[in-house]
Structure 1
């Protein structure tokens, strides 16, 4: 991208690269009567400004160095060739800073540039010979060439291969030039005419927002990427697969029908429409009541509230993972998001919950700690104009066949900061214990769905669990069907509450090989001894509770 941005700026100054040395050259420089050597000097100043504005990251330095070598050739009147320019720039930069040889960013930048200079013209010419319009052929050839050579390096870094990089780059390409030109124009005019700079920046934000939206949408698609072996063995394997795809693709280009079939199959793999996915994989199972998403070390649950509708309880730590879970369930409407408390492993994934869905409200605990995470939630809600309310014991709600009651935390008097207890309380309002931290202020819910009773305990720890067992709601908690075990199955559980609840099924959300040792063996043993079947996301993946009329079963994704 740095090379593309810099190329756009040089083209604005010099005109099309093929005419840069000719009398009929275009661009701003000849229109202003600037000579070739003067143009080269002005281009050098532009290169320096480009590095200063964009910061000297490896890709930026490489782009500026290649441009400087080309400008030197222009100033001396010698014939230019971009491959020698690239090689010269790489050599000079590595001699100046040998550590660049170990920089993946520098390697990706050089490889992408090499692909654009070597493979892209040939692939574009081949596409034109097969009837593809020139503009589309050039864009597709460039995007495919860069992806083919960069993907093995990216696989080493992320152990993942993108299936949407080429189409996303094509969709974003036409917005790059206006975003670059308008952005740099805003920077240039800011010192002398700030109102003009603001207007240019406002105009630039539209193409920039388009690029960002394309990136977010592409990354959020269920099949946007596939896991791939890391290390250089995985890179070699991917390079071999790429060669096979290229060889097969050359033959397929002569058969439009087969190309169409392959294109449709790729779209289905990437989009993964829920009706088709359900037929192929059986997920989600018909009649599901609750799904515990597999979001790693965190919590994210979905309660069925009608076709395409679900109440979400916590958002997990990763927007991508919770978004994938909701997409697989076909959830497009969320009447309520309940965030049990503000730890990052419960709220950091909120952008993924909100992405592309109609959300009615967000409900949180009144204990707004950690403060930065609470502010993060409020900023997101304000940006989407979603109301934020506080949950308190005694609250009851319904959405379709789903009904739930908040059983914790107790209501606290108004006009008091979170975590404080007044000296005198009205007789009708018993003094709640002051939370020892965010975990003990978690929102806990007793849910009724299809004849099943489900207790969701957030991250409550023993002090709050003991208080809950003595609360007015305690009697309603006896003998539930499903328990969402508190705090990822940690060792900090109250035996009294666990014995009173006595669930038939206990679900634990935790990350594989997490550093906390969740779930604790003692907690799992206590639940099992109490007659509960225990399932956990680190071993069983996403879990769907199905049942009604006393029947209870679980499906795994």
Structure 2
């Protein structure tokens, strides 16, 4: 059939691909760079730049027009003397691949490599001059287009940037004024990720982006009470702000809150805010403050503090009809997934509509570690999957053999395109029309539309058009890392991936596998440098993890959208669809957790743009070497084996290569920043963990490097966040027998956190008390503190710290937790004091703070003193006086902020210590 059609491609593929059209790329890049720079510029500078660009563009276009007119006046027409075409050369059609008015034999001769001359190719006279003029005119037109796009981007960026600096909001923010304002929400409310600050977690906060539409300086007390606020005429404005609602109660230590107290009020305020929809207008009273970082798209921060429910939102105007519909659909999706396993319940809303409110910090960290975080964000891939379901595979949309739901239902192509537009609009409404969703919809729709035409080379100008229009519409996207990653990933799929896929197919790789490998590798190659800027870390498992989830993202997304559409009308059907979607969602979560749990899942890398450039150079070298390696299968296999060893990092091999951990180690102090995490060796792959540090990722990484897979006991000396917040990292992928804690249950929020983590994994909680003794393999320990009944009750959790005296291979180790002088003095007066004399290793209390009992330090007289402290911590730990006092007793002092992770090995007579 193809031969009969007279075309190599056949009748069903009438188009031939020409060279890649890059004409729109320079204007798009110019607009992008100009917008990023001019957002901070003054309106005068932005206007001056735009005017200058327009004037220069006018000069370029004017010069080209005059030269073109002069050229037409001086160059005689081609053909005969009367301007008629030369015989045998039709004037209505130019064959593909030939210059105008060039006979076929001359064109073929030039194509065969013979140099053009008067008898071949263009004549040496007027035609050559006209070709040079055309090239000259094109260069001037291209330059003018770049300048005009830069001018437009400069004007748009200048106007958007000026919005942040004018009006009353920035002025009041610099004065930290208390204001009453009407705020229109522009995003979904979201809970802030808790962070460890010192020994406590930051209070729960709700974050919302909004626009101040009306503002009154002063709170209700200043203008006559809450009932008079509505009657006071404010100043109309339109300033973007970040609203922070502090709804957590930071309770004082030693105080317990009963039911119906401030905690219940805080939960009510939190739920009230989290239930609001975008486009809702609320009246609030709070304190304005300048934005913490420059270059952001907010004019100020509006902080509301919950005091007895006074932060409760007062709704002035209900959300729009579109947002109410979207809210109903999203709520239906959450309800339909309520009965699913934890990972699927958290992932499905994120995969479908970008709702990550149920994603736990542990799971979020696993997705970041494996570079799978893009699956949790609304991206063009979501829309592409749905449009592919409607249109069929890319490249067949305009062919007779096209597939998809639309042709199977007999829907014409134009109607199918209309349905695709409706689907895109619904996608924007449900996923919120904020800039990130608009970017995803524009890129996803443009890319799939160009692919559906079967003209892959037309994708580059389509992507450039999308970038240009989006940057002009919202210049703040020019500074968005998410936007940059999206464009880079899409560009990789359009440029590198097809070439790499063809190269792999030529070497015998199956087509589907070649496409998957090329897509994952190309996206990782271009995006990894930007990710390194953000995280200062490079994932070694990103490509295999993305390959493993690629075939499950599509079914999970399709079934998730089906659940979303049916939930408001038929909840039983929606629950059944959600149950089906839970299987691929669980697989995706399992891949993320497994990949993140590998010891060599990632390597630290220099941050900043210098590190990005270094990684880009390293990637380029790896690609060049990879082309040579593909010709030698045995070298490919060897490299794959080396990469596998680097990722898995078997402890025996790691110990031989790095010397860490040292053979026969007995105690290891992990470097977890400003916190505590200590591991006691109890056999091959087994260890007792004392405290978990503040960061799950850091303690998990330390345990993986030590080869710990089984933990018979986790001892949490007390409930401060810098000792317990990393508990999920200890429990991740390991068999844990029990968690032992102090009996002083403060602070209550961290006590609740530990109990939730233990219940979620079925790990029992037990209470430590003085006199308890245990033995495990070569390890035995005794609990010295606190007593079963501590009288008087300690002033805070520090003095209730579990204190252990540990013996292993003749080494005596004393772990003091965070005991302060009152607790240390009480310990010295207790019956256990007789066993405190002359220990080999001392874990210094409270990160080496100045609050130490010198009598206890002299009585203990350690040979080795270990201090766990974070580099450049704001508390000055360890205190110079404490270090001096320890050295005065003859101890060798080592600290994690300078020496990294520490490991103690040897015996009681020959003590060795090694740093990582």
TM range (shorter): over 0.9
Alignment-derived partner of residue 106 in structure 1:
483
Alignment-derived partner of residue 638 in structure 2:
261
Give the Cα–Cα distance (whole angstroms) in 1 for the partners of residues 632 and 447 of structure 2: 41
> Are 1:479 and 2:856 counterparts?
no
Give the Cα–Cα distance (whole angstroms) in 1 for the partners of residues 583 and 865 of structure 2: 49
2:697 to 298, 320, 323: 320
**Alpha-carbon shift at residue 451 of structure 1 (Å):** 1.6
Alignment-derived partner of residue 782 in structure 2:
405
Give the Cα–Cα distance (whole angstroms) in 2 for the partners of residues 56 and 220 of structure 1: 36
2:911 to 542, 552, 555: 552
1:247 to 602, 624, 628: 624
> Are 1:463 and 2:822 counterparts?
yes
Alignment-derived partner of residue 609 in structure 2:
232
Alignment-derived partner of residue 183 in structure 1:
560
Deviations 1:23-45 (A, max 9, x none): 43221222333333332232223
Question: 1:419-458 residue pairs with structure 2 within 5 A?
Answer: 432-458=791-817
Tell me the SS of whatever aligns to 2:395: helix
> Are 1:204 and 2:567 counterparts?
no
Give the Cα–Cα distance (whole angstroms) in 1 for the partners of residues 482 and 754 of structure 2: 33
Query: Alpha carbons of 1:181 and 1:327: their partners in 2 closer, same or farther (altered >3 Å)?
Result: same
> Are 1:134 and 2:511 counterparts?
yes
Give the Cα–Cα distance (whole angstroms) in 2 for the partners of residues 57 and 455 of structure 1: 56
Alignment-derived partner of residue 297 in structure 1:
674
> Are 1:40 and 2:40 counterparts?
no
2:713 to 312, 318, 336: 336
Give the Cα–Cα distance (whole angstroms) in 1 for the partners of residues 881 and 619 of structure 2: 49
Query: Alpha carbons of 1:70 and 1:493: their partners in 2 closer, same or farther (altered >3 Å)?
Result: closer
More off after superposition, 385-394 vs 138-147:
385-394
Residue 21 of structure 1 contacts residue 74 of structure 1 at CA under 8 Å; is this kept in 2?
A: no
Alignment-derived partner of residue 753 in structure 2:
376
Give the Cα–Cα distance (whole angstroms) in 1 for the partners of residues 765 and 795 of structure 2: 24
**Alpha-carbon shift at residue 256 of structure 1 (Å):** 0.3
Give the Cα–Cα distance (whole angstroms) in 2 for the partners of residues 523 and 223 of structure 1: 37
Alignment-derived partner of residue 498 in structure 1:
857
1:280 to 647, 652, 657: 657
> Are 1:95 and 2:493 counterparts?
no
Question: 1:343-358 residue pairs with structure 2 within 5 A?
Answer: 343-358=720-735
Tell me the SS of whatever aligns to 1:323: helix
Residue 62 of structure 1 contacts residue 106 of structure 1 at CA under 8 Å; is this kept in 2?
A: yes
Alignment-derived partner of residue 534 in structure 1:
893
2:596 to 219, 224, 242: 219
Residue 837 of structure 2 contacts residue 859 of structure 2 at CA under 8 Å; is this kept in 1?
A: yes
1:524 to 883, 887, 893: 883
Query: Alpha carbons of 1:288 and 1:379: their partners in 2 closer, same or farther (altered >3 Å)?
Result: same
Residue 341 of structure 1 contacts residue 442 of structure 1 at CA under 8 Å; is this kept in 2?
A: yes
Query: Alpha carbons of 1:524 and 1:57: their partners in 2 closer, same or farther (altered >3 Å)?
Result: farther
Give the Cα–Cα distance (whole angstroms) in 1 for the partners of residues 815 and 578 of structure 2: 47
**Alpha-carbon shift at residue 76 of structure 1 (Å):** 12
Give the Cα–Cα distance (whole angstroms) in 1 for the partners of residues 409 and 722 of structure 2: 58
Tell me the SS of whatever aligns to 1:405: strand
**Alpha-carbon shift at residue 5 of structure 1 (Å):** 2.3
**Alpha-carbon shift at residue 293 of structure 1 (Å):** 1.1
Give the Cα–Cα distance (whole angstroms) in 1 for the partners of residues 464 and 759 of structure 2: 50
**Superposition TM-score, scaled by structure 1 size:** 0.92
Residue 505 of structure 1 contacts residue 533 of structure 1 at CA under 8 Å; is this kept in 2?
A: yes
Tell me the SS of whatever aligns to 1:360: strand
Deviations 1:479-521 (A, max 9, x none): 2111100111011111222222221111001111112111010
Structure 2 gap segments, 5+ residues each:
1-373
Give the Cα–Cα distance (whole angstroms) in 1 for the partners of residues 475 and 783 of structure 2: 61
Tell me the SS of whatever aligns to 1:335: strand
Residue 115 of structure 1 contacts residue 149 of structure 1 at CA under 8 Å; is this kept in 2?
A: yes
Query: Alpha carbons of 1:57 and 1:231: their partners in 2 closer, same or farther (altered >3 Å)?
Result: farther
Give the Cα–Cα distance (whole angstroms) in 2 for the partners of residues 517 and 75 of structure 1: 62
Give the Cα–Cα distance (whole angstroms) in 1 for the partners of residues 451 and 891 of structure 2: 78
More off after superposition, 198-207 vs 442-451:
198-207
> Are 1:21 and 2:373 counterparts?
no
Residue 848 of structure 2 contacts residue 878 of structure 2 at CA under 8 Å; is this kept in 1?
A: yes
Give the Cα–Cα distance (whole angstroms) in 2 for the partners of residues 245 and 333 of structure 1: 37
More off after superposition, 116-125 vs 36-45:
36-45
Aligned residues: 539
**Alpha-carbon shift at residue 378 of structure 1 (Å):** 1.6
Q: CA RMSD in A?
A: 2.2
Give the Cα–Cα distance (whole angstroms) in 2 for the partners of residues 526 and 79 of structure 1: 72
More off after superposition, 508-517 vs 106-115:
508-517
**Alpha-carbon shift at residue 4 of structure 1 (Å):** 2.3
Alignment-derived partner of residue 511 in structure 1:
870
Residue 728 of structure 2 contacts residue 757 of structure 2 at CA under 8 Å; is this kept in 1?
A: yes
Give the Cα–Cα distance (whole angstroms) in 2 for the partners of residues 76 and 112 of structure 1: 21
Give the Cα–Cα distance (whole angstroms) in 2 for the partners of residues 306 and 77 of structure 1: 62
Give the Cα–Cα distance (whole angstroms) in 2 for the partners of residues 271 and 56 of structure 1: 43
**Alpha-carbon shift at residue 73 of structure 1 (Å):** 7.7
Give the Cα–Cα distance (whole angstroms) in 1 for the partners of residues 799 and 464 of structure 2: 61
**Alpha-carbon shift at residue 542 of structure 1 (Å):** 1.4
2:386 to 4, 9, 30: 9
Structure 1 gap segments, 5+ residues each:
413-430
Give the Cα–Cα distance (whole angstroms) in 2 for the partners of residues 305 and 284 of structure 1: 14
Give the Cα–Cα distance (whole angstroms) in 2 for the partners of residues 353 and 197 of structure 1: 36
More off after superposition, 434-443 vs 399-408:
434-443
**Structure of larger gyration radius:** 2
